[in-house]
Structure 1
């Protein structure tokens, strides 16, 4: 009996010892922050295999693009008991180490971190932002193991992350590599605040000086985070971190498992328009805490960090988030009805000026997001999972509201995805269609084929009329036909010799005239354009009038005749109809959570 008890005790100790041993320890030393350098040491637990392959991800979560992150790795070395081990690089992002069987190994390398705008890794003398997937390697054996990350940083630096804090300063704990890879660290000289809402802890850390009002940020974020209750029934976190970079040049944002990083120009916070963009961005990333971080399409579960992760539902992951972000602001009274409708009008304008809507479906754009083209070609031949994803989400929301007589909405779709398809589960088109039928009682296959796998053809005035709204142009009286203005379909930027063409809309007058990007327009009807703009010059011409365009192409002087087209004069606006019905007002309120706006002349 004593022998049996002793055997059980020894087995228990072995299991505990093995579990404690199966821990990855990472030390990141910012040896020369002014030169954007860090030294990384990783101690990996022993394995029973003789070779071990380490990887650095080729992309980071939240950005569907291969980034070739291993290009900043140098001075790679491996030791076991202070003895160097043999290794070889087997691909751009993988290192194979031999002779590791039953040995604890130490991997060391240097990282160059100067990619602020990509939100991957950036180190300077004032801070470091580390998306851990761009700094810390992993193996297939170590991916599920606990990681302890310790930072060696200059004095007076503060380190913040959505990761659990360790027992020492500048130390964090991740239960596995996947959590580590999706939980960035911000360390440096920064402004720090914390607040509590509905039993959840929130932190706001701001790096950089600017014209922001951190007190107003805090107050508005407190209101914004409460509004998730209008979509989901609970929270998937106990602590969440808002990281803000007030800097020069870099802009954009990325969602993470328990935090977000938001970048903006340091002097673009004080104006209402700019601050509203910040709030919408913060809301977008907060929505992602559920949509993508808790439920995401098949093909992205689990993440494959070494190659593209394909899905034809990325529009639902990103475009739906762009759509739902406004719900957090409207329902928290952080945006007025006019501001909300102005933002929607801008999206409609962008869609109407995008010929690519007839060349690529939103499902195709989702699958091809990894090779997405922007600029002239993208606008003319593609759609975007964010902007057009917003549009089809809006169409779907209105269809659900209509079929359910305002009892259900697109928010219910996302709540059910969160409830029934949380990771490690995922969802596909059949799952979404089943949810749509569940909440409306109707089959959505025909709608899906028409708008997701086909080319959506929305009638915007018909849509808006459901909510008591209509489209007008800023230079036309309400209810009257919009006046026309001359249109070329060309966008330009200033050049020392005239105006350089940056975009030509497909099938526009400029397209038919043969103009293309990088042409330098110098004259219209033999009069120079230097110091002028196309918009100013076009004021002298009428729609359907023919003009002579003189331009340089490959330094050769050329001429083309161009017949101007006609578009409505002024800016597209969305305004209330003169006499909205109770039904229309109720629809608007169910859609936005806002009271129906006052009619404007």
Structure 2
């Protein structure tokens, strides 16, 4: 349940089965104006006045988002007569006491093209329950019914409904009535509306629907279904059949440059670029499609790790306030470790491709100065104020529990494999967590993992003394022993300088001299070089440059998209004149270029030692 239960009405489990369900109706009343209308009916409102509230955040995206700001108008009535409605705070209303059914009607503005909110236009509709369904406080354990109504007009006659909500009279992909066991379940099944493309397949006998909205051409739907099926079946096998759902729905909004995903208990909402989709006739694994498959793998893995195995702080979710945990490194970071690992273990990509992805992750972490400032536990705890609210100093002050968490998972996995001679691995820990905390989470045992429970489980499963390693990985800013651990599975390590802005990492057979370092991340804006991030103690910061500055000239020459070329003409130690604007004020400074830091990593297989080759095969399954 997302809110604290009011003492006014808290039904027992038996009473909840008998009580009338909370009824919702949602209609796309004005797609051109991006307006949904919601009707909410409560058969037994609280005698002292029924309270309603809307979540302020959505599980899986840890930031206060204030969904109530999109409620345009709201009224209440009883037996056809108006009922006074008082707003108590930013997201809570209280109706005056009434006898008999109480009905609320409210309008929601929906024009956020993301996986977190609600969206409606003349081409498509989408909503998460957290954005549109008010909770009936004190009655969130009651079953819910929601009628999804089709928009009026012949231009919408081809629209359908895609959702993992169980139908309660609605035909497959049809408008009509759906049901949920309680409010928590209601808001955990997003809904897609429109004339979408539907691809269907089964993974270990479980129906999976793949829904794509937006414009795209020449989609190779057979390849997409084949690859995603491999991902799904591998993850189901990892935790053990049967799957934790009877049906699963992937929903992807296809745009020009979209990317993102948000997990739910039996579905996921995704965004992808149309150029990343597989096209008919393509046989290569292009990087964009590989990234898209990694995103799919990540969100699907969450079906086990965070939707069912979850921190005690999320059992239940409190969607009226922040929920603090130091365990996001395990629930997001380890999911990030397994997302690409799934691709290679399932045979979707080869080992070389996986090592390239891993080198990108390592390089990204090494290029983040904040790794020496913030620990993984601190990063997890501070997600509410830092991760989803990055600023120009974020790279200097913090580290991502996604990327560094994934690398901590890699170190932990390889350490366990080495110390147990391959008898145990991180897989065994994940399966044990599933069996103790996740398998029956929605079947009467909603127990979350205590803050110290994850480490205790790892010690119990492996029999190893892991506390010193956990202290290093999670509670210190020491460098991770990545090179040492990868050597135990026959992976060679190459650490070098970055070669150009497009260099994300990867093995170079021929060494190249890196360009001198400016000490900043840049973009081109209005033909000028804009500093987006200035690194601590880098040349740009030492020269007095700041994020947001626009470089007009570099050593007397106009600077723009040619910055790499200009830097290539210099050497470390050169002093260059920089002319730049800060706000509307022009200034000049002298910058001393430095050698590019050796923070770029490449990885490749070594087949010299048969024991290491076998250890690598056991790890990668390839």
1:433 equivalent to 2:455? Answer yes
Contact 2:212 2:251 in 1 (8 A): yes
- How far apart, CA to CA, are the structure 2 residues paired with 1:477 and 1:339? 11
Residue 262 of structure 1: SS of its match in structure 2?
strand
Q: CA deviation at 1:280?
A: 0.6
1:454 equivalent to 2:476? Answer yes
- How far apart, CA to CA, are the structure 2 residues paired with 1:591 and 1:429? 28
- How far apart, CA to CA, are the structure 2 residues paired with 1:484 and 1:153? 58
- How far apart, CA to CA, are the structure 1 residues paired with 2:482 and 2:493? 8
Q: CA deviation at 1:365?
A: 0.7
1:208 equivalent to 2:214? Answer yes
- How far apart, CA to CA, are the structure 1 residues paired with 2:563 and 2:531? 11
1:592 equivalent to 2:615? Answer no
- How far apart, CA to CA, are the structure 2 residues paired with 1:557 and 1:138? 54
Q: Indicate how the Cα distance of structure 1 residues 99 and 570 shifts in structure 2: closer, same or farther if over 3 A, else same.
A: closer
Q: What TM-score, normalized by structure 1, do the two folds share?
A: 0.91
Q: Which residue of 2 aligns with 1:223?
A: 230
Contact 1:72 1:113 in 2 (8 A): yes
Of residues 162, 165, 187, the one that matches 2:164 is 162
1:545 equivalent to 2:574? Answer yes
1:141 equivalent to 2:141? Answer no
Q: Which residue of 2 aligns with 1:512?
A: 542
Contact 1:403 1:440 in 2 (8 A): no
Q: Indicate how the Cα distance of structure 1 residues 139 and 456 shifts in structure 2: closer, same or farther if over 3 A, else same.
A: farther
- How far apart, CA to CA, are the structure 2 residues paired with 1:429 and 1:499? 45
- How far apart, CA to CA, are the structure 2 residues paired with 1:426 and 1:570? 38
- How far apart, CA to CA, are the structure 2 residues paired with 1:111 and 1:548? 54
Q: What TM-score, normalized by structure 2, do the two folds share?
A: 0.88
Unaligned runs of 5+ in 1: 1-14, 595-601
Give the alignment's Cα RMSD to 1 decimal. Answer: 2.3
Residue 567 of structure 1: SS of its match in structure 2?
coil
Moved more, 103-112 or 544-553: 544-553
Contact 2:393 2:534 in 1 (8 A): no
Q: CA deviation at 1:440?
A: 2.0
Q: Indicate how the Cα distance of structure 1 residues 152 and 566 shifts in structure 2: closer, same or farther if over 3 A, else same.
A: same
Contact 2:141 2:182 in 1 (8 A): yes
Q: How does 1:93-172 map to 2 (within 5 A)?
A: 93-100=91-98, 102-154=99-151, 155-168=157-170, 169-170=174-175, 171-172=177-178
Of residues 385, 388, 392, the one that matches 1:376 is 392
- How far apart, CA to CA, are the structure 1 residues paired with 2:75 and 2:508? 72
Q: Indicate how the Cα distance of structure 1 residues 394 and 526 shifts in structure 2: closer, same or farther if over 3 A, else same.
A: same
- How far apart, CA to CA, are the structure 1 residues paired with 2:311 and 2:17? 33
- How far apart, CA to CA, are the structure 2 residues paired with 1:497 and 1:421? 55
Q: CA deviation at 1:525?
A: 2.0
- How far apart, CA to CA, are the structure 1 residues paired with 2:589 and 2:143? 66
Q: Which residue of 2 aligns with 1:7?
A: none
Q: Which residue of 1 aligns with 2:6?
A: none
Of residues 367, 377, 394, the one that matches 2:381 is 367
- How far apart, CA to CA, are the structure 1 residues paired with 2:266 and 2:620? 27
Of residues 286, 289, 293, the one that matches 1:275 is 289
Q: CA deviation at 1:558?
A: 2.1
Q: CA deviation at 1:371?
A: 0.7
Q: How does 1:279-290 map to 2 (within 5 A)?
A: 279-290=293-304
Contact 2:517 2:597 in 1 (8 A): no
Q: Which residue of 1 aligns with 2:554?
A: 524
Q: CA deviation at 1:312?
A: 0.6
Unaligned runs of 5+ in 2: 1-12, 152-156, 279-284, 500-505
- How far apart, CA to CA, are the structure 1 residues paired with 2:121 and 2:361? 37
Q: Which residue of 1 aligns with 2:523?
A: 493
Contact 1:499 1:521 in 2 (8 A): yes
Q: How does 1:467-482 map to 2 (within 5 A)?
A: 467-472=489-494
- How far apart, CA to CA, are the structure 1 residues paired with 2:514 and 2:111? 49
Contact 1:45 1:104 in 2 (8 A): yes
Contact 1:482 1:569 in 2 (8 A): no
Q: CA deviation at 1:215?
A: 2.2
Of residues 240, 246, 262, the one that matches 1:238 is 246
Q: Which residue of 1 aligns with 2:422?
A: 406
- How far apart, CA to CA, are the structure 1 residues paired with 2:254 and 2:16? 45
Q: Which residue of 2 aligns with 1:190?
A: 196
Q: CA deviation at 1:19?
A: 4.3
Q: Indicate how the Cα distance of structure 1 residues 226 and 63 shifts in structure 2: closer, same or farther if over 3 A, else same.
A: same
Q: Indicate how the Cα distance of structure 1 residues 484 and 191 shifts in structure 2: closer, same or farther if over 3 A, else same.
A: closer
Residue 423 of structure 2: SS of its match in structure 1?
coil
Q: CA deviation at 1:130?
A: 1.1
Moved more, 82-91 or 208-217: 208-217
Q: Which residue of 1 aligns with 2:62?
A: 64
